[in-house]
Chain A
Amino acid sequence: MTNADITQSLQNDLRAKFSGVNFDYNYAFGNNVVHVPKEYVVSLLKHFKDTGRFDFLMQVAGADYPERAKRFDVVYEMFSSRTKERVRVKTQVGENETIPTVIHIWKGADWFEREIYDMFGIKFDGHPNMRRLLVHQQFVGWPLRKDYPADLQQHCTEALPIHFDNDPSYVPDPNKDLVPLNIGPSHPATHGTLRVMVQLDGEKVHRANVELGYLHRCFEKMAETHPYNQVIPYTDRLNYCSAPMNNIGYCKAVEKLLGVEVPPKAQAIRVVLAELSRIIDHIVCIAANAVDLGALTGFFHLFTYREQVYTLFEKLCGARLTVSMTRVGGMANNPPEGWFKDVLDFCDRMSVGVDELDTLLTGNKIWIERTRGVGSISAADAIEWGYTGPCLRAAGVGLDLRKAQPYYGYDQLDFDVPVGSSGDVYDRYLVRVAEMRESLKIIRQVCKNIPEGDYTIRDKNIVLPEKKDVYGNIEGLMNHFMLVIKGLRPPVGEIYDATEAANGELGFYLVSDNSAKPYRLKVRPPCFAIYQSFSKQITGGQVADVIAVLGSMNLIAGELDR
């Protein structure tokens, strides 16, 4: 089906269901959009879910247009794992209006709606826990509204006490002697700045809650105040365990909005970078997960390989961790002589490394006892929460955007999508190990056939000329000057574009008003959706399993809190 067909069939479908109401449809930049009045959002989403047309609610985003009569947009991003269709449902909300929640249709809407409340002050009717999510509790105002200055800080003087207001329907049992336990935000097992609060009944978790936002670095506001290319370093710091993938995801979205395609060589380099990042991301996840459960050897051993990838990145661009290697339109420069050979050599060593990891953990009795059957989740529940990536595949859903919506020639490559069955910590581990092997397979195929040609497009309105031209001839100097002064200006419009990052679907919802800075940039961080289910998953389990489940979700505070 072409996209125009999808629009048509969607129109027919919705006309039949909602007779008498005329929704506004449009198709732009490869995205299907339906504009609906806010009263119809719930029934429309329910219709999508009930008919099975769309099974994923990928994200809910907000946007602010102060000069409009109804100033806010609330945007629902839908995806069907069956037909791979996407549609965006948009509705407008006025300044003092509320909008009904969709949490009873998709559980995964929970935190996305809370985030919109936190950032824009839009209240969702019927949401059980309409509280601030990311910024601290003493914060006054709505930071992502256009009238809030980006650099106006408000100090926080008190840490939040332990609280469990995520479940208002909870009725305390006076006969139970419960012990509260606070883990984080500064705790070795929380991988950064996560905070988990539990109430224990003996060794069992009676109820649980999480608090996030301890690393809320205002990525989205920063993106609105920086030119397109200067946003790239900020994207590095979203998922800092696999920084190049974020660069690629962001640049791909901007390029799609600009309507350009990067040259084959740039695509190949991006694929190699992405797969190397996937490997090192999985290394951190598995190594840290094992360390938390007492297996320190894996960490020290696997970090040897991680360092080797850092060395490859360093050769490519000079930075180890936060590489900012991509540019809108291609790459920053050509890889040095012999770099692909180095990558292939690394692949040989890494294959041995993965095998060693396999022998260390896969058959390890303690590892199996600690992880098998822990944190299991069914495929239906995982979809409901918005799981993507290895955690979803471990639950038995073989969804991988590299296969489902191939980009950069992934459809030409021979690789498999490993799938688990029970969705527990052990399956997640197995899926990640298998994915490392598949990534090695991909890298080998790509490195053996690196296309000839340029590493970037040469459109003078998008890419800066090479330094030798800037200093060597007047035209190069002029083009450089013009692009720096005028900036990179995508056409007016908006786009949602996603790539398969190490944690799952990394989406960028980008709105452009033809200025040099993004009007709105919303990230759909994969672990944000996964982490929502955490308190439900650990309730009823052992307190020691909390750490195992936490580690297996691979929560990266940078992309969780942004």
Chain B
Amino acid sequence: MAEALRTADRELVETTRSFAFTTKLESIVAWGRKNSLWPMPYGTACCGIEMMSVMGPRYDLARFGAEVVRFSPRQADLMIVAGTITEKMAPVILRIYQQMLEPKYVLSMGACASSGGFYRAYHVLQGVDKVIPVDVYVPGCPPTPEAVLDGVMGIQKMIADGAPRPWKTSWKPGVMR
């Protein structure tokens, strides 16, 4: 009897191993999250046009599970800030960011969004990180689509590793940094 049970148990374990695996809950959640990023494209300027190329047929962001572009911030978890953010736009982008649900990530695409770029000017915000926390900065003016894909992969890695994000946890809305 005991022998039969042991055999059945061993068979069960072997069968299960053929289609299942063990993992930690947070890892499997992270795996799901990183492969189904829904971008909210905040395209304001030239970078927005390059972002269209990233989504377009040649570079095809869909390969990274991020093709479901949501223009409603409530349905998105990755904000791609593509283009110059002006002082006039700052309160708007802050509100859009606040409307996104957790967990949320921000990719700053290009020199303008990252630092104001070569617009050291009276009406240009010197980097979107002054108002919202940024996870990945992609350099370029505008960055090549390859660079943007690399940035998205950076976000994916960040999600998979579950690395701490102090810039996000210490962030307070409405406080200029």
Residues of A within 8 A of B (CB): 134-136, 139, 143, 148-159, 185-188, 192-193, 213-218, 221-222, 233-234, 236-237, 240-241, 243, 284, 299-300, 303-304, 306-307, 310, 320-322, 557-558
B101 interface contact, C-beta 8 A: no
Determine if B122 and A149 form an interchain contact, defined as CB atoms under 8 angstroms apart: yes
Q: How far is B49's CA from A271's CA once the two chains are assembled, in angstroms?
A: 23
* In contact, A307 and B53 (Cβ under 8 angstroms): yes
Report whether A214 and B92 are in contact in the complex, using a CB–CB cutoff of 8 Å.
Answer: yes
Contact A143–B57 (Cβ < 8 Å): no
Instruction: List the B residue with the shortest CB-CB distance to A322.
Output: B46
Partner of A136, one of B52, B56, B87, B144: B87
Whether the Cβ atoms of B87 and A218 lie closer than 8 Å is no
The answer to the question of B89 belonging to the interface, with a C-beta cut-off of 8 Å to chain A, is: yes
Total A-B pairs, Cβ < 8 A: 139
* CB-based contact A284/B49 at 8 Å: yes
- Using CB atoms, name the residue of chain A closest to B176: A155
Find chain B residues with CB under 8 A from A154 CB. Answer: 87, 122
Closest B residue to A300 using CB positions: B57
B114 on the A face (CB < 8 A) = no
Could you say which of B71, B88, B89, B120 contacts A187, with CB atoms under 8 Å apart? B71
CB distance from B41 to the nearest CB of A (A): 8
A-B complex: 6 closest residue pairs judged by Cβ atoms: A218-B121, A240-B46, A136-B88, A303-B56, A188-B71, A159-B91
Contact pattern, B 45-62, Cβ under 8 Å of A = 1, otherwise 0: 110111011001110000
| Chain B residue with the shortest CB-CB distance to A291 | B52
Would you call A215 and B56 a contact (CB within 8 A)? no
* Chain B 126-147 residues near chain A, CB threshold 8 A: 126, 141-142, 144
Tell whether, in the assembled complex, residue A157 and residue B174 are in contact, meaning their CB atoms are under 8 Å apart: yes
Q: Which residue of A lies closest to B90 (CB)?
A: A156
Residues 56 to 88 of chain B near chain A (Cβ within 8 Å): 56-58, 71, 83-84, 86-88
Which of A157, A233, A306 lies in contact with B91, CB distance below 8 A?
A157
Alpha-carbon distance between A233 and B120 when the two chains are bound, in angstroms: 14
By a CB distance below 8 angstroms, the chain B residues around A241 are 49
Task: List 16 additional A-B contacts (Cβ < 8 Å) besides A148-B122, A306-B56.
Answer: A134-B123, A136-B88, A143-B123, A153-B126, A155-B90, A157-B91, A186-B96, A187-B71, A192-B43, A192-B44, A215-B89, A217-B119, A218-B123, A240-B45, A304-B56, A558-B46
- Residue from B49, B87, B120, B141 in contact with A155 in the complex, judged by beta carbons closer than 8 Å: B87
CA distance A434 to B73 in the complex (A): 39
Contact A217 B57 (CB under 8 A): no
Instruction: Give the shortest distance, in Å, between B120 (CB) and chain A (any CB).
Output: 5
- Closest residue of chain B to A148 (Cβ to Cβ) is B122
Is B95 part of the contact surface with A, judged by Cβ < 8 Å? yes
A-B contact pairs, 7 of them (CB 8 A): A155-B87, A159-B95, A213-B123, A214-B86, A215-B84, A216-B86, A221-B121
Complex-state Cα separation, A150 to B116, whole angstroms: 14
**Of the candidates A193, A221, A237, A558, which one forms a contact with B89 in the assembled complex, judged by CB atoms under 8 Å apart?**
A193
Indicate if B93 sits at the interface (CB-CB under 8 A): yes
